[in-house]
Amino acid sequence: MHAPDLSGDELVRLYNSPVLSVQLVSRPKHGIGNIRLPKEVMPPPSTSSEPVIINAHEAVIVTTPMGEFLIEKGSGYGSGGGNTIVKKVQHMNKAQWTFGEVRTDIAAGVTVGQLVHQGGTEYRLFSNNCQDAAGRIMEHATGSK
């Protein structure tokens, strides 16, 4: 579980803040290296005989009038059943991350709260993980598929 950076009125203000830019970021998964999954545990309809390698954690940096924040999803990250969190960028070890393009083509009216909602609450390794959440966040922010 991650401790919250913001609470109360400050968190409400952040969730209602307009998003000025988004940036997809990734890093190797902490402490486990690559996870190799045998075909037998793959979700259907996989027909590949090759194992899947899950080796990257993805998140999104959002810039708001309040500063830069990281929205990320992970098993057990949030409290009260939520697994998508928002935290100050200062907590990132930037040397571990790869940074994508900064996108400023944000759809009208997008807020931090909407992007956190896109991340979702339930975490599932194969169908609702950090990479899925980051993709949904980026799509919602830019209004594109």
Q: Is the pTM of this model over 0.75?
A: yes
Average pLDDT score over the chain: 82
- Three-class DSSP labels, the chain: CCCCCCCHHHHHHHHCCECCEEEEEEEECCCCCCEEECHHHCCCCCCCCCCEEECEEEEEEEEECCEEEEEEECCCCCCCCCCEEEEEHHHCCHHHCEEEEEECCCCCCCEHHHHHHHHCCCCECCCECHHHHHHHHHHHHHCCC
pLDDT digits (tens, 9 = 90+) for 60-94: 999 999 999 999 998 878 776 568 999 999 888 88
pLDDT at residue 104 above 50? yes
pLDDT band at residue 27 using 50, 70 and 90 as cut-offs: confident
